[in-house]
Amino acid sequence: MVESSIFATKELRASWPRLAAVWARQYPLLFDAQDLRLTRTQPKNHFAEWFTAVHVFQVEGVRSLVQKYLYHDAHPEKAAVLRRILKTPDLERLRALCDRHKCQPPDLLLFNMKHQLAGFIEVKGPKDRLKPSQRSLLPDLEQAFGVPVRLVHVRVVAG
């Protein structure tokens, strides 16, 4: 597992959640109406995940499913995309690993334009910490799926 940090300015962070609507328009391959609704109902959350998804898309050209992708009842559109990326045995393996470790999957599931799994990222904002269950899940995912699993810390700095 690779651990790294990316940096956002205080001004950028302060523009959240208004910034979500801008990013949703600019990055329709990353965010949909359901994602945007979530930023409105939980306005203090999700900045770090969205910021990381945009960063990874710009730098690496890979798309992300952002949060709740494993739960079809919470986000049916993401679940449909997920079924294109992971076939049933892989979906079952992902669910089983999350169940065994008693935690949700990483915040971002990365995939390329051919809908092939490219990795996972667990995102931590300035006040977030990795739980022991997440720390044990991440290397198991890397081994089970043969893709990179990363831990990204989003740091807020003066502009």
Over the stretch 80-135, which tens digit does the pLDDT of each residue have?
A: 899 999 999 999 999 999 999 999 999 999 999 999 999 999 999 999 999 999 99
> Is 112 within 8 Å of 56 (Cβ atoms)?
no
Q: Can you give the residue ranges of every domain in the chain?
A: 2-157
Model pTM score: 0.96
Q: What angle do CA 51, 144, 122 make, to 5 degrees?
A: 20
pLDDT at 21: 97
Residue 48 has pLDDT above 80, yes or no: yes
> Is 112 within 8 Å of 128 (Cβ atoms)?
no
Residue 74 has pLDDT above 80, yes or no: no
Residue 137 has pLDDT above 90, yes or no: yes
